[in-house]
């Protein structure tokens, strides 16, 4: 069920006219083997994409033995960067353990997503999109202050909601 390879297309073509800047986005952490029965679904946080770090999540307290790993998320017009400022360890292994960014839109917002190897130290293998939502699976990967993930996004020219 590796969807990342199908979605993580190289951005070889011309840049799309769309942007993530100014869009309303909700960021959450989810862990599940079956989507309908999550082990953890953290409180979502919603912001409008602008300059600087959009999200700085902290632990929320254990739910079924799981908690949120401290993470920062910076979203640019066509790029998403994640970092892990404190702590180190390994993400719990599940069919999906990771991040969901839900942008408020009715259209297919993501035309292509590619991991930027120069800005990434984490071997993320599974990334997929569903309409305006981007799923990033970090299940079983190591995290710590040196861990980084950078995604280059080709954004469709969808109207702002």
Coil, strand or helix at 6: helix
Asked whether residue 97 carries a pLDDT value surpassing 50, the answer given is: yes
Distances (CA, A) of 111 to 11, 45, 73, 155: 10, 24, 21, 6
Number of Cβ atoms within 10 Å of the Cβ of 115: 19
DSSP 36: T
pLDDT at 161: 63
Mean pLDDT, rounded, for 127-139? 95
Asked whether residue 12 carries a pLDDT value surpassing 80, the answer given is: no
Residue recorded with tokens 């390994």: 90
pLDDT at 106: 85
Phi and psi at 62, nearest 5°, equal -60, 135
pLDDT at 64: 76
What percent of the chain is helix, strand and coil (3-state, nearest 5)? 5, 40, 55
Residue 63 pLDDT grade (very low, low, confident, very high; cuts 50, 70, 90): confident
């Amino acid at each position: 069920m590796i969807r990342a390879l199908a979605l993580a297309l190289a951005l070889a073509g011309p840049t799309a006219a769309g942007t993530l800047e100014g869009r309303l986005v909700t960021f959450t952490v989810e862990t599940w083997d079956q989507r309908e029965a999550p082990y953890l679904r953290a409180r979502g946080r919603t912001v409008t994409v602008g300059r600087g770090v959009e999200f700085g999540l902290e632990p929320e307290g254990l739910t079924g033995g799981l908690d949120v790993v401290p993470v920062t998320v910076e979203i640019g017009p066509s790029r998403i960067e994640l970092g892990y400022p404190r702590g180190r360890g390994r993400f719990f292994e599940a069919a999906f353990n990771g991040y969901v960014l839900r942008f408020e839109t009715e259209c297919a917002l993501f035309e292509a997503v590619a991991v930027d190897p120069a800005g990434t130290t984490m071997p993320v293998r599974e990334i997929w999109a569903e309409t305006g939502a981007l799923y990033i699976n970090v299940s079983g990967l190591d995290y710590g202050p040196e861990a980084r993930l950078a995604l280059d996004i080709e954004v469709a020219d969808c109207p702002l909601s």
